[in-house]
Amino acid sequence: MPILEIKNLIKKYHTKNVIDNISLNVDSGKIVGLLGPNGSGKTTLIKLLAGLLTATSGDILIDNKEIGIETKAIVSFLPDRPYFANWMKVHDILAFFADFYRDFSMKKAMEMLKLLNIGVNDRIKTMSKGTKEKLNLVLVMSRAARLYLLDEPIAGVDPAARDYILRTIISNYSEDSSVIITTHHIADVEKILDDVIFLNEGKIELNSAVEDLREERGKSVDEIFRETYICLGGII
Amino acid sequence: MLGRLFKYELKATSKVLVPIYIAFIAITIISRVSIDLQVDEGSLWSFINGMGLFVFIISAITMFVATAIVIIWRFYRNTSSDEGYLLFTLPVKVDYIIISEFLCAFIWGFLMSVFTVLGIFLMIFNRNIDDNIINFSYFGNILSSLTADGIKAIFYLFLDILISTFQEIMSIYCAISLASLFNKHRLIFSATFYIGLLIVVNAFSILIMNIVEKIFPSGVYNAYSEDISFSDIVTSWNTDVAPIINSVVSIVDWVFLLVVISIEYIIIRKILSKNLNIC
């Protein structure tokens, strides 16, 4: 049964369709790479799923429910940039998540913070961009959500942290849950992906299982991505 | 969930406003003490006296401006910037988000008003210049001289200020919400929408008051026809002002403001639930 169903989704800004009549399903237990060049509509699609934008037309169903309070309770969203207020300390944001999300595990969060050497009394204001991103990921992955939406989770961190983040993603999702990841670092991520979706100018160029793609074309996802977007005249 | 949202909103705003409010209280006390220390009529003491009053006025203005900016900025950040990512992905009703922001804004507005009034009271109370007028017995006399109508008018006036404050906050939120529908220049659009709302609400208000005046002329005329001097302010309040405040005019004004608040709330709710546009 799909955890996510999208039917004829359109998001229009002025006269331009940023998401242009997309339909797709994502099954439970899958890690899906949502890939595409800048401006292809990846972040817009993720924001639509998170309920931060409203679709111009079409349907989005998460666990068979329309976007709303019920879907927000089972979706864990990591934005492309940290969203914490500077006045907060780590313990403030932990308490915030524990207050609002029933599926948040303080124990899991504390374990991950310890491994990443982030103290509960550390101030958000004094953190580097990379540390903020790690903290954001810790919070998002400490929830037992049904659908994780990770927008550029490894963009601003060093290679060692990148590996840790990918391990965290794999070890924290279950058969009941799915993960959608957008990224430009395809080579780093493709080893954990089950499916890939290539977006270009708001349309789906390709939607396939990673294994099938490798078998059919005899190439890595990274190579196929580069070929696809060079053929389309995109800049990657 | 409403309580939790309110708790975090209060915490976030407290970080900025509590130090400013404490500074205002401290400045008021220091200013008052510096004035009380005056031992003669020399120019140095006159200067200190004037400076104390000046610093008090500046700190009161700072407190007012800071409160207004924080109220506006919090709603703007929560509906139009990264911080909205946190707020609008929470599994809570949009109504709770609006109400928690609104309550928090109102509480700060209320505290600011109370501190300002207490500050003014502290600054003028038993000052040498009006030694015979502004002291405890003076306020005691005022209270005992008020008629039932006078007390009712004070209550009505307080209620009117309360509803007007609600409407002001809702107009600010409505303007910011309308501006969030645009992808660029949201601050400029917010200001434009706010001015627009101000003009529309005031135009309707004047229109309604004119109609009320025609229907109930006795309730409106002679409002401020007599010169109200400071010494007979209570008499003037009881006889001239109270009948107007207690008349149908106030009730029409409240109904009108409540209708405006309701319309603005519906617009905000519609935008934040159906047309959310956090870039």
Q: Give pLDDT tens digits for B97-137.
A: 999 999 999 999 999 999 998 998 888 776 555 554 556 66
Edge-to-edge strands, sheet with A203-209:
A75-78, A147-151, A178-182, A31-35, A195-200, A203-209
Minimum mean pLDDT among A2-11, B178-187, B205-214, B233-242: which range?
B233-242
> What is the secondary structure of B27-81 as a DSSP string?
HHHHHHHHHHT--SS-HHHHHHHHHHHHHHHHHHHHHHHHHHHHHHHHHHHHHHS
Is B4 touching A (CB cutoff 8 A)? yes
A51 and B88 within 8 Å at the Cβ level: the answer is: yes
- pLDDT tops 80 at residue A114: yes
Specify the pLDDT at position A102. Answer: 92
Is A57 touching B (CB cutoff 8 A)? no
Nearest to B116 by CA among B161, B159, B84, B81: B161
- CA B172 – CA B53 distance, rounded (Å): 32
Mention every residue, 6+ apart, whose C-beta is less than 8 A from residue B20: B62, B63, B66, B67
Q: What confidence tens digit (pLDDT) does each residue in A194-209 have?
A: 999 999 889 998 898 9
A53 and B12 within 8 Å at the Cβ level: the answer is: no
The interface pTM score, or ipTM, of the predicted complex is 0.87
Specify the pLDDT at position A235. Answer: 47
From chain B residues 205-224, the ones with a CB under 8 A of any chain A CB are none
Decide which of B139 and A24 is more confident: A24
Q: Where are the beta strands (DSSP E) in B157-251?
A: none
From chain B residues 90-119, the ones with a CB under 8 A of any chain A CB are 90-93
Decide which of A127 and B140 is more confident: A127
Specify the pLDDT at position A74. Answer: 94
Q: Tokens in use for B54? A: 């000046």
Residues of A in contact with B92 (CB under 8 A): 69, 100
Q: Tokens in use for A83? A: 């969203």
- pLDDT tops 60 at residue B205: yes
Phi, psi of A196 (to 5 degrees): -130, 145
Q: What confidence tens digit (pLDDT) does each residue in A121-163 have?
A: 999 989 988 888 889 889 998 999 999 999 988 777 777 777 8
Specify the pLDDT at position B136. Answer: 62
B90 and A52 within 8 Å at the Cβ level: the answer is: no
Residue in chain A closest to B4 (alpha carbons) equals A99
Specify the pLDDT at position B58. Answer: 93
Most confident segment among A18-22, B125-129, B250-254? A18-22
- CA B243 – CA B157 distance, rounded (Å): 12
Nearest to B91 among A73, A85, A92 (CB): A73
